[in-house]
Amino acid sequence: MNSTDKSIATVDIALRRRFTFLKMKPNLELVTYADAKKLMEDLNIFIKKNLGEDYMLGHSYFMKVQNNEDLEFVKEYKIKPLLEEYFYADDVKLPEILSMLTKENN
């Protein structure tokens, strides 16, 4: 553990002592645009299977999506970078999940 890790660890301990953390699961009902809802559901099934439910995408990414243009922006600038981070060293699963972003029905 280096000095940066140690300083982050003390902040983490202090936060956990002072605050209550509630686990919130993704809520598909809060996503109104059908294509966004389908994409969120498909991605989260893949993520849960391969990484676990703690990595699933939250509804906040998709709540303001009203049309395909909004969805394309969210996919390119919010979801894609996150997925690249999640599957950084996985040369098989990264292309698989990124291909879900380019499907015609999404």
pLDDT in tens, 27-83: 999 999 999 999 999 999 999 999 999 999 999 999 999 999 999 999 999 999 999
Helix (H, G, I), strand (E, B) or coil at 105: coil
Q: Which residues contact 20 (CB under 8 A, 6 or more apart)?
A: none
pLDDT at residue 7, as a whole number: 77
The domain locations on the chain are 25-101
pLDDT greater at residue 23 or residue 57: 57
Q: What is the rounded average pLDDT of the residues 87-99?
A: 96
Distance (Å, rounded) from C-alpha 83 to C-alpha 96?
11
Report residue 10's pLDDT band, with 50, 70 and 90 as the boundaries.
Answer: confident
Output the CA–CA distances (angstroms, integers) from residue 33 to 24, 44, 47, 62, 67, in the order listed.
21, 16, 21, 8, 7
pTM of the predicted structure, to 2 decimals: 0.81
